[in-house]
Chains A and B, each alone.
Chain A
Amino acid sequence: LAKTTQPISMDSYEGQEVNITCSHNNIATNDYITWYQQFPSQGPRFIIQGYKTKVTNEVASLFIPADRKSSTLSLPRVSLSDTAVYYCLVGLGYQKVTFGIGTKLQVIP
């Protein structure tokens, strides 16, 4: 199972762009990179998934360099409601994955 490393916490002011980077040096060739958001007492919520280069959806962008050993989740113009823990996972959906400690994002008014 690919191990991931993320910063434990980050603070950001409202309206700023937030970039959270995840390292996954032993990512396998077939692995996808998936990011989840978790609020207290709720299950993780899917944000975005990618394999290489850049992926963008209505809530975030995911940047993946050519070597795929890291990825960066970009949240544009965060609001207070984006305060949560963000997890980076590496693998395939039908396989078991290992959750790292996640990044606790605190958005400040």
Chain B
Amino acid sequence: GAVVSQHPSWVICKSGTSVKIECRSLDFQATTMFWYRQFPKQSLMLMATSNEGSKATYEQGVEKDKFLINHASLTLSTLTVTSAHPEDSSFYICSADLGGGNQPQHFGDGTRLSIL
């Protein structure tokens, strides 16, 4: 079945550091990928839609200069949290669309980001 891989699965870093998270579609090409953030005991919140070869579309309230998204190929999208602070600590999850109108999104296993 379709597999979406995220890396790293867990990262701890100091405040002010920039952190890059990778999302790869392993056995299919994904024109569109999505980035979510999930705080403890809450649901997933969509941050942005990542489109291959074009700029990402950010949801209201998500700072595009803070959360840089690059979707340079059909199998890789990256999310960079720039100058991360403790309030950016969260669980970040990506998903990819298999293509075709009725194909479901498949999700990565998430990245736990902890900013000290």
Please, how many angstroms separate the alpha-carbon atoms of A87 and B99 in the complex? 21
The interface size of chain B toward A, counting residues with CB under 8 Å, comes to 29
Please, how many angstroms separate the alpha-carbon atoms of A99 and B39 in the complex? 13
The SS class assigned to the A binding surface is loop
Verify B110–A99 contact, CB threshold 8 A: no
The reply to whether the CB of A63 lies closer than 8 angstroms to some CB of chain B is no
The size bracket of the interface on A is 20 to 34
Verify A49–B49 contact, CB threshold 8 A: no
20 A-B residue pairs with Cβ-Cβ distance under 8 Å, sorted by A, are A32-B102, A32-B104, A36-B107, A42-B109, A43-B4, A43-B6, A43-B108, A43-B110, A44-B95, A46-B107, A51-B102, A92-B101, A93-B97, A93-B99, A93-B104, A94-B97, A96-B34, A99-B44, A99-B45, A99-B46
